[in-house]
Amino acid sequence: MKKLGAAIIGCGWVAEEYVKAFQHDERSEVRTLVSRNPANAERYRDRYDLKCIIETDASKMLRQKDVDIVVVCTPHNVHTPYVVAAAQAGKHVIIEKPVALTPEDVLKQREAVRKNKVKTIVSFVLRWNPLLITIDRLIEQGVFGDIFMVEVDYLHRIWDLKWYGSLEASGTALMTAGCHAVDALRWLARSGVEEVSSYQVRGGNPADYPATISINVKFKNGKIGRSMTSFDAKMPYRFNIGIYGTEGVLRNNELFAPKLFPGQNDFMKIPCILPDSGDVSHHPFRGEVSHFLDCIIDDKTPSPDLEDAAATQAVCFAADRSAESGKPVSLDEFKDLL
């Protein structure tokens, strides 16, 4: 069986999880690591006994015929040139979230991907967490009846800041990490977004941006949604999820669903791995990579691909604009992304 060759651009914290994921799947192998600092790439090569090339220049890697997939793990503000170049070289692309920090950059990426007909996946990796997979299946089975409200929170005390405290390099609190919650909100609501209203506040965090934002969302299918991102509160990491329906409710891993369990009179716990850690080693990158390989081999559309993720980006852009203006923002203002 021919293995698909992968190259990773940017050898920071997240890159190690991609190395492990590609190694775990026998259909792929890491063939090149790209880093401005060769020592960062060498540590992963040596730690995982990779038989790979180390480059400081991504353009050299993009000329390799044995590289089929490029993973872009750079700081957020420099995703676009690498995604565009990879697409132009005919490589399939894994894009770390967020896709980009401006609508213009998202559109540049999408244009290159469409023109060159390559596959993409955006690393909203929590879609492969067992709890979220379970919730997705419960929704598909109609366990909650008519769902009228969905909520998802990203609460993580990100205080010891590096580049991800920079407005220029990492973006706002939503772009830095809260977009995970916004993506899950859209996915679980099964709807596009009509309007967003949000407020933000500074809670003492030294980041360049206000590190707490609260969002209210009006969905096109009549549902409403709520999401909060906060890096300020002194607390353990939490990725809260709420599904509220006419036939049942879910609060994180606690389920009340008499339609599924007749006679149920209190919440029951779903025993599974929870999205309860901000450590990337806890995140299901293996599931994401395996799904992407499936889609490449079987010529299917990955989810979430760049087309889908652009809609999540639009909600984040609208929420940040609302927080700045103090007024609701229609998603029509970002219709080019939808």
Residue 102 sits in a domain whose CATH number is 3.40.50.720
Of 150, 232, 163, nearest to 193 by C-alpha is 150
29 plus 156 within the same structural domain: no
Residue 71, both tokens: 């993973």
Ordered per-residue pLDDT tens for the chain, 338 residues:
789 999 999 999 999 999 999 999 999 999 999 999 999 999 999 999 999 999 999 999 999 999 999 999 999 999 999 999 999 999 999 999 999 999 999 999 999 999 999 999 999 999 999 999 999 999 999 999 999 999 999 999 999 788 989 999 999 999 999 999 999 999 999 999 999 999 999 999 999 999 999 999 999 999 999 999 999 999 999 999 999 999 999 999 999 999 999 999 999 999 999 999 998 889 999 999 999 999 999 999 999 999 999 999 999 999 999 999 999 999 999 999 99
26 plus 68 within the same structural domain: yes
52 plus 173 within the same structural domain: no
CATH code at 161? 3.30.360.10
pLDDT at 160: 77
In angstroms, the CA 268 to CA 286 distance is 29
Angle of helix 38-47 versus helix 13-24 axis, rounded to 10: 40
Question: Nearest 5°: CA angle at 161, between 237 and 43?
Answer: 90
Q: Within a 10 A sphere around the Cβ of 130, how many other Cβ atoms?
A: 16
190 plus 91 within the same structural domain: no
How are beta strands 28-34 and 53-55 bridged, if at all?
A: parallel
191 plus 330 within the same structural domain: yes
Residue that is written with structure tokens 């209210």 in the block: 216
331 plus 267 within the same structural domain: yes
Cis omega (within 30 of 0) for bond into 98: yes
133 plus 265 within the same structural domain: yes
Cβ neighbours for 6, distance < 8 A, ≥ 6 positions apart = 18, 22, 28, 29, 30, 31, 67, 68, 69, 70, 71
Of 181, 279, 163, 173, nearest to 226 by C-alpha is 181
**Quick check: 172 and 201 in contact, CB under 8 A?**
no
What is the count of structural domains for the chain?
2
Q: Which domain holds residue 114?
A: 4-125+285-304
Residue 206, both tokens: 């030294």
35 plus 181 within the same structural domain: no
pLDDT at 162: 86
In angstroms, the CA 161 to CA 227 distance is 23
In angstroms, the CA 24 to CA 92 distance is 19
**Quick check: 321 and 199 in contact, CB under 8 A?**
no
110 plus 162 within the same structural domain: no
pLDDT at 33: 98
Of 187, 193, 245, nearest to 215 by C-alpha is 193
Of 95, 3, 11, nearest to 53 by C-alpha is 11
> Hey, which residues does 154 pair with through a beta bridge?
229
118 plus 147 within the same structural domain: no
Angle of helix 13-24 versus helix 285-298 axis, rounded to 10: 50
207 plus 256 within the same structural domain: yes
324 plus 176 within the same structural domain: yes
Give the C-alpha distances (Å, rounded to integers) separating 155 from 158, 232, 243, 252.
9, 8, 18, 14
pLDDT at 273: 94
